[in-house]
Structure 1
């Protein structure tokens, strides 16, 4: 089978469409979750902690600061080497919150799936197994010689 035929079969079977739809929905879902974290949860956490949760202005100046600049923007414009650990900390906290929200959503979805799943009847025992069990039981009932 040629590679073109394999690709055609792959595309026609719907695998590629399923993948494309999954990527599109995943991207949209990612935006929803990002907005939930940034626009809803982070302001609530900021109110609870009594301060700003944005640590992006936390930095350490590495090297010389000849003009004694104080803000991150001024330091970056001047080309001063700056370690911006606060920006990393903000992104890391956002990631942890995002991961927790996704975990909770998956947990709720799994619970809903379990409730919707019909109770399956146990599979019928094959006829040959039933016959063997009958033979076994009959042999147990016979008196030993």
Structure 2
């Protein structure tokens, strides 16, 4: 009985560590935000963009969303989904591009140029000479 209980608590502890890791929580938040963002983009396409494009693509006075081919093949909805995808892809591309630029600028400002090898060697020699001088002076004072 205690063996089963240990396994269960070990499993629960492992699951808790996994579920509360930063990556899993970040992924869950990203999915939620992505879902909300998708709804905003769908509304933007249906309510703003397509009414502007609708007069251009109107087929015999029909709305673009009702374009169908054969029995039940809804091309209008499919085209709307394609436009949604293209807008989301464009926005993500622009956001990722901006983040990469910001990251590059951050890396450039944080990087300090490595010291020149000659300067580094001179500093080491100077430190060694200082220690040697202190050692010699200490022996002279003793003797």
Which of 1 and 2 has higher RCO (CA within 8 Å, sep 6+)? Answer: 1
Instruction: Tell me how far apart the structure 2 counterparts of residues 29 and 101 of structure 1 sit (CA, whole Å).
Output: 14
Deviation for aligned residue 1:90:
1.3
Unaligned runs of 5+ in 1: 63-81, 131-145
Counterpart for residue 57 of structure 1: 66
Pick closer, same or farther for the CA change 1:87–1:44 going to 2, 3 Å: closer
CA RMSD after TM alignment: 3.7
User: Higher helix proportion, which one?
Assistant: 2
**Would the aligned equivalents of 2:45 and 2:80 in 1 still touch at CA under 8 Å?**
no
Q: CA-to-partner distance for each residue in 1:69-113, whole Å, 9 max, x for gaps?
A: xxxxxxxxxxxxx22222222111211111111111111111222
* 1:27 match: 31
Gaps of 5+ in 2: 1-9, 58-62, 122-143
> Residues 1-28 of structure 1: CA distance to partner in whole angstroms, max 9, x if unpaired?
xxxx8x967964xx65323212212112
In the alignment, which residue of structure 2 is the partner of 1:121? 113
Alignment CA distance shift 1:121-1:29 (3 Å): farther
Normalised to the residue count of structure 2, the TM-score between the two structures is 0.51
Alignment partner, residue 98 of structure 1: 88
In structure 2, the residue matched to 1:77 is none
CA separation in 2, counterparts of 1:122 and 1:11? 44
Q: Which runs of 4+ in 1 moved over 6 A?
A: 7-11
Q: Which whole-Å CA distance do the structure 2 matches of 1:50 and 1:95 have between them?
A: 18
Aligned residue pairs, count: 103
Instruction: Specify the SS of the correspondent of 2:67.
Output: coil
Max Rg structure: 2
Aligned 8 A contact 2:41 2:87 in 1: yes
Inter-CA distance 90–16: structure 2 relative to 1 (3 Å threshold): same
Q: Could you give the per-residue CA deviations for residues 43-64 of structure 1, whole angstroms, max 9, x where no partner exists?
A: 44235436498733111233xx
SS in 2 for 1:56: helix
